Structure 1
Amino acid sequence: MQISMWVPYDENQLRRTLQFILRPQLRLIRVLGGVLVALGVALLAVKPLSSLAYVAMILGLLFVVAVAPITVALSMRMQSNVIRDGFHMTLDDEWVTLTYPLAESRFRWAGLGRAIETPEVWYVMFGKLQAITIPKDPMTEEQRTTFAAFVNGLQPAGK
């Protein structure tokens, strides 16, 4: 397999990738927020004028509603300016190579944890928090089919 393509910078795709990576951690925070809201409601039922109940409900609502967008926004701001020029991606039988104008990253397929396919991209995971987004738009239909078969052959059954 030898696929080579130019990938322009896409802020919306970067945001979706960050949401994908952060989803497990943010899910736990939302659950904790729900528990705090329930605790606040229970405290209000027992002691209607309890300030602790209102604090628990407000914190719980913040955890459920506000933490995820704030975390993604902060993560977006923390990204290096190097990525804003787009990059050249090369996929071959041994490596994923990302070449930016000012930097280069290479990952061996042997380190692949899992690959998740969506209608727009593949998220190729090298660990729990390291994901490479491989967009489908710059690829031809033949390249998509070749890559899908290649990455499916790399993953253990059930992943």
Structure 2
Amino acid sequence: MHIRFDVPADPAYAVRVAGVMSGLYLRKFRYIGLGLVVVGLVGLVVPLPNRDTGIGATPVFTTIIVVGVLSILFPLWMRHSTRRRAAGLAVDGSYDITDDNIMMRSGTESQGIAWEGVSRVVETPDFWVVYVGRIASTVIPRQLMAPHDERTLRAFLVERGSLPADGRTGQQA
């Protein structure tokens, strides 16, 4: 297998990549924030024994709720910030994918990932997100590939066990 395609210097592409990658990293903050809000609300509603003595619990639980709401809003702010910064990072690039590795070039920088190091691949509507260990290392833009190259790479990923045969990964970004 040998697949090669170019990536144009398109600010919209850089913004989509930044959105996908930041969404993967920031998903946990939504769950943490939701948990904090629930704990704070339960603490305010459920009566505690000996609430009349010592420091009042209301400011503590109110603070937990505020931190929870901020934690829920943090991914939205970070995604906006990441997308705004990424718009100025658009440069010409290319991908060269073989049976052995993925070589990516962006501007004057070049990086490769050996397939042996790839632990899994998550499919999103526009990209394949390549994980090395537990870290999302790069994306492969599906919309920039020729249809036959996309089918070839999909078959290769399924054969390796990096991508489920049905194309579902259970995690859409």
Structure-1-length-normalised TM-score: 0.78
Q: What is aligned with 2:32? A: 32
SS of corresponding position for 1:147: helix
Shift of 1:69: 2.2
| 1:68 aligned onto 2:75 | yes
Percent of pairs identical after alignment?
Answer: 19
Query: Kindly tell me: are residues 67 and 20 of structure 1, through their superposed partners in 2, closer, same or farther at Cα, counting changes over 3 Å?
Result: closer
Q: Which runs of 5+ in 2 are unaligned?
A: none
Q: What is aligned with 1:6? A: 6
- After TM superposition, the structure 1 = structure 2 runs for residues 115-126 of structure 1, keeping only pairs within 5 Å, are 115-126=121-132
Q: Which runs of 5+ in 1 are unaligned?
A: none
Query: Kindly tell me: are residues 20 and 109 of structure 1, through their superposed partners in 2, closer, same or farther at Cα, counting changes over 3 Å?
Result: farther
Larger Rg: 2
Q: What is aligned with 2:95? A: 89
Query: Kindly tell me: are residues 30 and 85 of structure 1, through their superposed partners in 2, closer, same or farther at Cα, counting changes over 3 Å?
Result: same
Q: What is aligned with 2:24? A: 21
Moved more, 52-61 or 14-23: 14-23
Between the aligned partners of 1:157 and 1:15, the Cα distance in structure 2 is 22
Between the aligned partners of 2:133 and 2:85, the Cα distance in structure 1 is 20
Structure-2-length-normalised TM-score: 0.73
Between the aligned partners of 2:58 and 2:162, the Cα distance in structure 1 is 53
Between the aligned partners of 1:19 and 1:61, the Cα distance in structure 2 is 19
Q: What is aligned with 1:57? A: 65
Shift of 1:74: 5.5
Between the aligned partners of 1:75 and 1:119, the Cα distance in structure 2 is 20
Q: What is aligned with 1:136? A: 142
Shift of 1:42: 2.9
Aligned length: 153
SS of corresponding position for 1:130: strand
Moved runs in structure 1, 4+ residues, more than 3 A?
46-49, 70-79, 156-159
Letter in 1 for 2:124: T
Instruction: Decide whether the 8 Å contact of 1:18 with 1:72 is kept in 2.
Output: no
Query: Kindly tell me: are residues 134 and 156 of structure 1, through their superposed partners in 2, closer, same or farther at Cα, counting changes over 3 Å?
Result: closer
SS of corresponding position for 1:85: coil
Q: What is aligned with 2:44? A: 44
Q: Deviations over 1:96-152 (max 9, x none)?
A: 001122211011111111112233221121122232211112212111111110111
Moved more, 98-107 or 66-75: 66-75
